[in-house]
């Protein structure tokens, strides 16, 4: 069967899709790059914001029309968080959808495709979290652990790979659906994580990123022994073949300073910290149930920079949260300037059905005002990012080359024959563009930085 899979949303979704595609290839299916040529069209979805869901609704409308014209083909499937959250609505609104599969059931996709071939709609979602016994999450964890560890060695498809450290979330921020769609917070056995990383090394991987909704809260208990993120990093650092280690995303309210101490002593752990603030206002943070203050957040950034020299920090912000005043918003602008982020991911608040904010708080910031605040905060961040990047001009950075730039073919070039514009990332997660041979993909190259914008660096390969 020819299968097309489009992934939307976070890095966890990207990892889930990579694992799914690896298993489907192993089962003999062909993965194609265009939905128009596929026998099965799958969407791995995100429910964190309304815009992501609207995109899926649009895609499903297109594919269901195609299906009516094509006499029952292609098979259409919705996977991931949106499937878990909106299973009933999807089934009713789109009769042509054959598979609805939540994130805790994604390892069953092969059998679901077989059922769909028999023209039977396949529904695989977990019970709603308030009604779901912990035992069901434990069963799903054991199945998904086998799914992760069976990952084909070459499935990462390059020198970089995501590795799951955690599943689920227990923080229950009032705006967020993740605890409801991905289940309770559960950390993976560190031995299994190390085993997976060793197998990835065999496939040519040189850089790993540990993933968790709040990865700094990683905690594995084995009898009387407890392993935290600091311990896991110390276990991964000596693995031969791995040159870089990152960990995302971090929750500011429970950041064990022991992580910083271990991090500073481990040469492979990169100088990059993604630690979302979400707002610069203590009042809004309380309404979000974020459980830290701005003073505590800034103390964490200061401690991290003191322990880890040359640290790059990234943040997340939501604008237009219920009750956010202009004063609250300006506090977020001020925090972006004070924090000196390399970059921030900035989003407009959208109510998510089932969350505390959607149930109890009026969405009282007008859409036009959300758009203005989004644009203004982005402009502040762009200026901070430009200054941050400008400081690196003249330095030599080690870059792990990802491949040709997506814009390379559109730009006039005076570089020597046989070269293209390449892009890669520094240890601090800065994007760097420079000219070089395509064969450098997956290799480390020293690049002298010659230019900077708010988004990226440019440079020349340094001999």
- Asked if residues 322 and 359 have their Cβ atoms less than 8 Å apart, the reply is no
Average pLDDT of the chain? 93
Lookup result for tokens 């059998």: 111
Structure token digits, residue 354: 């089932």
With 0-12 / 13-18 / 19 or more C-beta atoms within 10 angstroms meaning exposed / middle / buried, residue 234 is middle
- Asked if residues 195 and 153 have their Cβ atoms less than 8 Å apart, the reply is no
Give tens-digit pLDDT for 152-185: 765 545 899 999 999 999 999 999 999 999 988 9
- Give the DSSP H or E segment for 30: strand 30-31
C-alpha separations of 36 from 75, 160, 209 in Å: 12, 29, 33
Q: Which domains does the chain have, with CATH numbers?
A: 2-125 (3.40.50.12160), 133-270 (3.30.750.210), 272-391 (3.30.750.200), 396-461 (2.40.50)
Q: How many residues does the chain have?
A: 463
- Asked if residues 160 and 114 have their Cβ atoms less than 8 Å apart, the reply is no
Does the structure show a pLDDT above 90 at 100? yes
Give tens-digit pLDDT for 19-67: 999 999 999 999 999 999 999 999 999 999 888 999 999 999 999 999 8
* Beta-sheet pairing, 40-45 with 160-164: unpaired
Could you tell me the sign of the dihedral formed by the alpha carbons of 32, 36, 40, 41, in that order? Answer: positive
CA distance 415 to 364: 54
Give tens-digit pLDDT for 72-90: 789 999 999 999 999 999 9
Cis peptide before 46 (omega within 30 of 0): no
Confidence of residue 188 (pLDDT cuts 50, 70, 90): very high
| φ, ψ dihedrals at 396, nearest 5° | -105, 125
Q: pTM above 0.75?
A: yes
Structure token digits, residue 3: 């299968």
With 0-12 / 13-18 / 19 or more C-beta atoms within 10 angstroms meaning exposed / middle / buried, residue 2 is middle
* pLDDT at 141 (0 to 100): 78
- Asked if residues 252 and 306 have their Cβ atoms less than 8 Å apart, the reply is no
- Asked if residues 355 and 304 have their Cβ atoms less than 8 Å apart, the reply is no
CA distance 438 to 265: 34
Structure token digits, residue 214: 């709040």
Note the Cα 392 to chain centre separation in Å.
26
- Asked if residues 200 and 208 have their Cβ atoms less than 8 Å apart, the reply is yes
Give tens-digit pLDDT for 104-155: 999 999 999 999 998 889 999 988 877 666 666 677 778 888 889 888 765 5
Structure token digits, residue 87: 């299973």
Does the structure show a pLDDT above 70 at 392? yes
Residues 6 or more apart whose Cβ sits within 8 Å of residue 212: 164, 165, 166, 187, 218, 247, 248, 249
* DSSP type of residue 376: H
Lookup result for tokens 């899709």: 17
% of the chain at pLDDT higher than 70: 95
* pLDDT at 157 (0 to 100): 57
* DSSP type of residue 278: B
Query: Which residue in 213, 281, 272, 280 sits closest to 246, CA to CA?
Result: 272
Three-class SS state of 145: helix
DSSP string, 226-275: EEEHHHHHHHHTT-TT--EEEEE---GGG--HHHHHHHHH-TTB-SEEE-
- Asked if residues 99 and 113 have their Cβ atoms less than 8 Å apart, the reply is yes
* pLDDT at 68 (0 to 100): 87
Does the structure show a pLDDT above 80 at 193? yes
* pLDDT at 127 (0 to 100): 86
Three-class SS state of 288: coil
* pLDDT at 415 (0 to 100): 67
């Amino acid at each position: 069967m020819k299968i097309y899979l489009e992934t939307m949303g976070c890095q966890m979704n990207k990892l889930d899709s990579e694992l799914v595609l690896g298993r489907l290839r192993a089962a003999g299916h062909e993965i194609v790059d265009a939905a128009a040529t596929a026998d099965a069209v799958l969407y791995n979805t995100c429910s964190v914001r309304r815009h992501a869901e609207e995109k899926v609704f649009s895609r499903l409308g297109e594919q269901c029309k195609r299906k009516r014209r094509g006499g029952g083909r292609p098979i259409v499937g919705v996977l991931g968080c949106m499937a878990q959250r909106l299973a009933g609505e999807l089934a009713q609104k789109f009769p042509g959808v054959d598979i609805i599969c939540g994130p805790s059931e994604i390892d069953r996709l092969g059998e679901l495709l077989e059922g769909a071939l028999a023209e039977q709609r396949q529904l695989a979602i977990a019970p709603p979290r308030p009604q779901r016994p912990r035992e069901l999450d434990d069963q799903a964890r054991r199945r998904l652990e086998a799914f992760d560890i069976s990952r084909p060695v070459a499935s990462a498809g390059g020198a970089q790979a995501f590795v799951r450290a955690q599943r689920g979330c227990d923080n229950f921020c009032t705006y967020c659906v993740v605890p409801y769609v991905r289940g309770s917070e559960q950390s993976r056995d560190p031995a299994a994580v190390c085993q997976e990383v060793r197998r990835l090394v065999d496939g040519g991987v040189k850089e790993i990123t540990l993933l968790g909704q709040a990865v700094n809260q990683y905690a594995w208990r084995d009898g009387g022994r407890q392993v935290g993120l600091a311990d896991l990093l110390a276990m991964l650092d000596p693995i031969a073949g791995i040159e870089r280690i990152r960990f995302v995303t971090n929750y500011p309210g429970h950041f064990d300073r022991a992580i910083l101490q271990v991090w500073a002593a481990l040469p492979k752990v990169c100088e990059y910290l993604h630690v979302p603030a979400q707002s610069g206002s203590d009042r809004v943070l309380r309404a979000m149930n974020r459980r830290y203050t701005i003073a505590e957040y800034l103390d964490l950034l200061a401690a991290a920079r003191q322990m880890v020299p040359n640290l790059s920090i990234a943040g997340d912000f939501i604008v237009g949260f219920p009750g956010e005043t202009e004063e609250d918003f300006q506090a977020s602008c001020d925090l972006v300037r004070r924090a000196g982020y390399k970059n921030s991911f900035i989003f407009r608040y959208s109510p998510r059905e089932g969350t505390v904010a959607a149930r109890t708080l009026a969405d009282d910031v007008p859409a036009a005002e959300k758009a203005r605040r989004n644009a203004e905060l982005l402009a502040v961040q762009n200026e901070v990012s430009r200054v941050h990047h400008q400081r690196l001009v003249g330095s030599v950075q080690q870059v792990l080359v990802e491949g040709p730039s997506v814009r390379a073919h559109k730009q006039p070039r005076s570089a020597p024959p046989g070269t293209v514009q390449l892009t890669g990332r520094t240890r601090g997660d800065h994007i760097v563009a420079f000219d070089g041979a395509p064969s450098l993909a997956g290799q480390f190259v020293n690049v002298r930085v010659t230019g900077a914008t708010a988004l990226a660096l440019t440079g020349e390969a340094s001999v």
